[in-house]
Structure 1
């Protein structure tokens, strides 16, 4: 037995020599590496609050909380992500099987009638159950690296599911904010329409008694119609937003219940975070790093294909026969084999080159993911800061236009200015009021996008070690 093992290892060493030169795994391209900046380019007022896994509850709207709970339970994208986790887990289990021995059982029976040397017919029956075991000695780590790659890919799939979950939550919050902004705009238009209708009645009464010209009546009619035609557009947008929220919640289109008004919704508190913290806070970055590690493991497995594979097999059975041997006989065998690649037409080298390219692709994808994450944070920081400035300016403009309308109305009633001045002031004020609503919604959505860009609030059962 010892001599057999010595011969087996000797053949293994000989096979390594025959296999030729083993290619060296090249380093990741230097230009694909990325380092996070020390601080943010845009202004960022950090807080001492930690990331809240349920950050949307800071808006204090129970209707929104219910919508998000429905989305987490019924959203199709989340369900698909969970299915992909199951697929990855099955692939991981399949790759693990290569590390374990295989055991098979077989059995056969033969019944035969023949003539012996004396011309006498005999009937022979032979039964032979056999157990076979085989195991590949993973000397060079080909199977171990393949299993490692499968495990890392499964972990990356879990992180991808967490990223989808975070995206669904953020999209639901932003869609709800947009819906409440549209409600505010519709309410503003309806109030404005009521005012235009009162003014139209007054203009009609004045025109009937000849106190004003037909021109002022037509101007009042046009202004009423201009306000009226905007309402169906907003109502259509509200319906579409309700349909989008229904789809996010995994249900058929329905009327969405309303909670707090837009002015009552407050942006969630952004946690303190540095650019380098994105490496562990953003699920897509964690996913990219896991996929890069998986590609490294696949590359190491491809490198091991240049080396021989060593297998050990054993067979144990028992023969039952009616003739010529009456007593059962035990049979067994044990042996080893070496399979060394000598000439594969470039197949192994091509597979190795493919894995190198895929590893480099994963490195570039990681760099792209990090740069995209940094860009998204900077974009939302800039948007939040600029939107605050815009809202302040709009507030000043609103106050000025409200005063201008007041003065224009008084001057018109006193006969010092035409009705057109009143209409212009009304249009400008309505436009700014609508912009104020949109600015408020944009700021809230920017804060939600910033929270998402910072990777706040994503959790899974176990964050993998990689």
Structure 2
């Protein structure tokens, strides 16, 4: 290790002497994350054949114009997305700020002072006549990036900006998925409310029929009580569903950057639960390294942490700066440009770390440990992404099977309820048969609605897990707050 360090220092000294200083750097060069074991295909798929296609604007596959409209408005106004845009602007400004370290800095100063001097002893003091002194100067300094410390800092800043871009994309993936999921839930509750209301009307008709039989002497009080109770039980579900519907609508309003009731008017008219039919292109597991923004962001943070090791390592080497100054002074402003009043200085300065009790070495070790943390985070994020896709694939596949069975069950229960009611009206069936058939039909139809909601949400979860999101350009240059009157002005009273 010492021999390697000595050779590196010797190489850089040779570059200094030869005047080719731009290529010298210390610390590890990032060439990508360490190789990780990746599955060759998704285990939830019966075949390893890759499904090609794009995930851009995947929500259009849900074929719901209202949802498309809400997502576009959410992208424009969501506070979390606005915050992510501000983080991108900050990261890009940091790149600009860090890049300035490669260039000299120059400052100028000027002064005009009235002066008076006195000289002599205690017994004889001679005062000079007052005079005005005009002075001007320019000072410059330039720290040479001999060992690449500034370049490593720029490298870290650039990779931090790339990570911020991916974080913005991740916030859009999350936002779009959340808007779609809450929208589907809301439509599901609207469908369940409508079903409960329709069913309760039918059950009240059964109650009336039972009451008529009871009053005619062909029924009994037990059947009447059960008919009344079943209708009331179904009606009792409506307030619960309405409260859940309101909560989903309120959440949609917040996601769109509005008050909780900001989309209530838009959601007042009911619509079917979105039912996607086109499959999503799942690609290969390795595609997540690029398609999942949280994985891509974690990888950029790993690259950033690697660059910071080089910056810390460069601090252990000598620092060379070039400084210069030009000054002039005169009793009259017109004499400032005369050579006799001009003074100047220029020359290099070298700072060599001699003893710091291991502080700089510890800084390198800290950077190395932070790089390992960044890799662990990247690895964990990638594994979580793989898990998300596998879970979504299984859930979506099994929910579709469940929906098929529930559709069959609802169809048969509907026929059974119709037949049992007809037989009951003619006295060929007991009221228990009618009661059981109506209860089973309502339960099957309600479960079918929930299954449609679950299937749509599983579809949305799969799109999120695969990294599908907004593909259009996003304006990050416009700040949230635009300040005015920022030039010199009278300060207002504190508020």
Q: TM-score of the superposition, structure 1-length normalised? A: 0.87
Give aligned pairs, total. Answer: 441
Quote the offset at 1:391 in angstroms.
Answer: 1.0
Q: 1:312 to 1:461 in 2, by over 3 A?
A: farther
Consecutive unaligned residues in structure 2, runs of 5 or more? 1-12, 18-24, 475-495
Q: 1:170 to 1:387 in 2, by over 3 A?
A: same
Q: 2:184 aligned with 1:177, yes or no?
A: yes
Q: How far apart, in 1, do the equivalents of 2:107 and 2:374 lie?
A: 39
Q: How far apart, in 2, do the equivalents of 1:448 and 1:150 lie?
A: 34
Q: Is the 8 A contact 1:85 1:154 kept in 2?
A: yes
2:447 alignment partner, one of 424, 435, 442 = 435
Q: 2:375 aligned with 1:363, yes or no?
A: yes
- Matching residue of 1:200: 207
- Matching residue of 2:222: 215
Q: 1:235 to 1:47 in 2, by over 3 A?
A: farther
- Matching residue of 1:311: 321
Q: 2:284 aligned with 1:274, yes or no?
A: yes
Q: What are the within-5 Å matches in structure 2 for residues 47-126 of structure 1?
A: 50-115=53-118, 119=126, 121-126=128-133
Q: 1:23 to 1:272 in 2, by over 3 A?
A: closer
- Matching residue of 2:489: none
Q: Is the 8 A contact 1:268 1:448 kept in 2?
A: no
Q: How far apart, in 1, do the equivalents of 2:109 and 2:388 lie?
A: 61
- Matching residue of 2:484: none
2:397 alignment partner, one of 381, 385, 388 = 385
Quote the offset at 1:116 in angstroms.
Answer: 6.5
- Matching residue of 1:284: 294
- Matching residue of 1:241: 248
Q: How far apart, in 2, do the equivalents of 1:136 and 1:299 lie?
A: 20
Q: Is the 8 A contact 1:262 1:441 kept in 2?
A: no
Deviations 1:141-185 (A, max 9, x none): 111111110111011111111111121111111211111111111
Q: How far apart, in 2, do the equivalents of 1:437 and 1:414 lie?
A: 33
SS at match of 2:56: coil
2:147 alignment partner, one of 137, 140, 146 = 140
Q: TM-score of the superposition, structure 2-length normalised? A: 0.82
Q: Which is further off, 418-427 or 107-116?
A: 107-116
Q: How far apart, in 2, do the equivalents of 1:56 and 1:47 lie?
A: 21
Q: 1:219 to 1:356 in 2, by over 3 A?
A: same
Deviations 1:383-432 (A, max 9, x none): 11111111122123223323433443345445454312221221121111
SS at match of 2:130: strand
Q: Is the 8 A contact 2:28 2:306 kept in 1?
A: no
Deviations 1:102-150 (A, max 9, x none): 1111223443323578957333433221100100000111111111101
Q: Is the 8 A contact 2:406 2:444 kept in 1?
A: yes
2:407 alignment partner, one of 395, 408, 418 = 395
Consecutive unaligned residues in structure 1, runs of 5 or more? 1-8, 14-21
Q: Which is further off, 394-403 or 381-390?
A: 394-403
Q: 1:251 to 1:392 in 2, by over 3 A?
A: same
- Matching residue of 1:257: 266
Q: Is the 8 A contact 2:282 2:466 kept in 1?
A: no
RMSD (Å) for aligned C-alpha atoms? 2.9
Q: Is the 8 A contact 1:44 1:381 kept in 2?
A: no
